């Protein structure tokens, strides 16, 4: 069964559409909370997860080893859900992390800003039982847009609004929730999106590489260094400038790793000063 990743603008109806698609197709609906809960199994602190959810990392945090570990763990949790297949993944940069997987449909749900503010205000008023301040709702929507855009740009250097990140972009100004569900559910059943062993292996490779990255980001001998990881059918390739022997030992201890190869990156010498 194909996998659906859903990116959405607040007030556009993304979560409602994703949940209905999951119900219709009998898929597992995985939202940000479930992914965060899965990430906590790796020993992360809930407060740190919340801070990463609420805003883009600061310049200092981007180079902070602990922040990198948290981000890597969240990626690993998403990959592990994707390995199970038959899932609807809400948020967590699934459109980027699962790019190039044949049986993954990447969808973005959007709508004009003023319409989203109107919908959001109506929803919040219903939840609280009283009229909400339009300015407050406007600012909430604007801040949410900026935070989502900032996280994607800072963490992955991509624009969350870039249509190239998606296979399908839905504007709910005209299409209703039910019409959007029909469109997505029908697309997911297209033969082009059929799950294949090759596609499943691609996800398994990325999941394994991510688990190795978590191990490297956790181990005291390797967590300070940037070491890139690739995996293919159990063979892991590490590339870095330091602590490579230690990294090999750490990688070999990860379940699913059959062999480890390394590519040492040499730092070019500083040219002599010429007066």
Same-domain pairing of 179 and 205: no
Domain-embedded: residue 272:
no
DSSP tag of 243: -
What is the Cα–Cα distance from 22 to 173, expressed in whole angstroms?
A: 22
Binned at pLDDT 50, 70 and 90, residue 92 comes out as: confident
Inform me whether the pLDDT recorded for 70 exceeds 70.
yes
Same-domain pairing of 107 and 185: yes
Among 162, 193, 224, the domain-final residue is 193
DSSP per residue over 244-259, as a string?
Answer: HHHHHHHHHTSTT--E
- Strand 259-264 vs strand 235-240: parallel, antiparallel, or unpaired? parallel
Same-domain pairing of 52 and 171: yes
* Residue 77 CB partners (closer than 8 Å, separation 6+): 35, 36, 38, 39, 42
DSSP tag of 199: H
> Taking the CB of residue 182, how many other CB atoms lie within 10 A of it?
15
pLDDT tens for each residue of 147-206 = 999 889 988 899 999 999 999 999 999 999 999 999 999 999 999 999 999 999 999 999
Who has greater pLDDT, 83 or 37?
Answer: 83
**In terms of residue numbers, what domain contains 55?**
3-193
What is the Cα–Cα distance from 106 to 30, expressed in whole angstroms?
A: 15
Same-domain pairing of 221 and 160: no
Among 150, 173, 193, the domain-final residue is 193
What is the Cα–Cα distance from 151 to 153, expressed in whole angstroms?
A: 6
Binned at pLDDT 50, 70 and 90, residue 11 comes out as: very high
**Domain total for the chain?**
2
Backbone angles phi, psi at 228, to 5 degrees: -85, 150
Among 175, 193, 211, the domain-final residue is 193
Same-domain pairing of 96 and 174: yes
**Residue 157 sits in a domain of what CATH number?**
3.40.50.300
pLDDT tens for each residue of 231-251 = 999 999 999 988 899 999 999
What is the reported pLDDT for 273?
Answer: 46
What is the reported pLDDT for 54?
Answer: 46
H or E segment and range at residue 30: strand 28-30
Domain-embedded: residue 270:
no
Same-domain pairing of 94 and 209: no
What is the reported pLDDT for 274?
Answer: 44
Who has greater pLDDT, 41 or 22?
Answer: 22
Same-domain pairing of 201 and 189: no
DSSP tag of 159: -
Taking a C-beta distance cutoff of 8 angstroms, is the pair 1, 86 a contact? yes
The β-bridge partners of 143 are: none
Domain-embedded: residue 66:
yes
* Structure tokens belonging to residue 173: 């100004």
**Residue 209 sits in a domain of what CATH number?**
3.30.300
H or E segment and range at residue 273: none
Same-domain pairing of 12 and 112: yes
Domain-embedded: residue 269:
no
Domain-embedded: residue 32:
yes
Who has greater pLDDT, 190 or 46?
Answer: 190
Segment 49-67 mean pLDDT: 55
Same-domain pairing of 135 and 255: no
Who has greater pLDDT, 64 or 43?
Answer: 43
Taking a C-beta distance cutoff of 8 angstroms, is the pair 212, 231 a contact? yes
pLDDT tens for each residue of 206-229 = 999 999 999 998 899 998 888 999
Residue in the structure block whose two tokens are 């459109």: 95
Residue 3: alpha-carbon gap to chain centroid: 14
What is the reported pLDDT for 47?
Answer: 57
Q: How many CA atoms lie within 13 A of 50 on its CB side?
A: 3
What is the reported pLDDT for 252?
Answer: 97
């Amino acid at each position: 069964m194909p996998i659906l990743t859903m990116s959405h603008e607040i007030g556009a109806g993304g979560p409602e559409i994703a949940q209905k698609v999951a119900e219709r197709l009998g898929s597992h609906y995985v939202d940000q909370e479930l992914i965060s809960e899965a990430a906590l199994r790796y020993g992360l602190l809930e407060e740190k997860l919340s801070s990463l959810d609420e805003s883009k990392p600061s310049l200092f945090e981007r180079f902070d080893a602990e922040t990198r570990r948290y981000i890597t763990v969240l990626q690993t949790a998403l990959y592990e859900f994707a390995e199970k297949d038959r899932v609807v993944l809400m948020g967590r940069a699934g459109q980027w992390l699962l790019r190039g997987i044949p049986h993954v449909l990447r969808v973005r749900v959007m709508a004009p800003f003023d319409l989203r503010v109107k919908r959001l205000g109506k929803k919040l008023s219903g939840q609280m039982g009283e009229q909400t301040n339009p300015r407050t709702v406007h600012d909430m929507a604007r801040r949410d847009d900026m935070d989502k855009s900032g996280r994607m740009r800072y963490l992955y250097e991509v624009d969350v609004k870039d249509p190239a990140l998606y296979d399908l972009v839905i504007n709910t100004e005209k299409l209703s929730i039910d019409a959007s569900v029909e469109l997505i559910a029908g697309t997911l059943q297209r033969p082009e999106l059929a799950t294949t062993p090759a596609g499943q292996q691609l996800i398994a490779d990325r999941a394994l590489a991510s688990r190795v990255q978590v191990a490297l980001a956790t181990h005291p001998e390797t967590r300070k260094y940037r070491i890139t990881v690739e995996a293919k059918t159990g063979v892991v390739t590490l590339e870095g400038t330091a602590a490579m022997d230690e990294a090999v030992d750490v990688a070999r201890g990860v379940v699913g790793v059959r062999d480890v190869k390394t590519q040492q990156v040499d730092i070019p010498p500083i040219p002599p000063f010429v007066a």
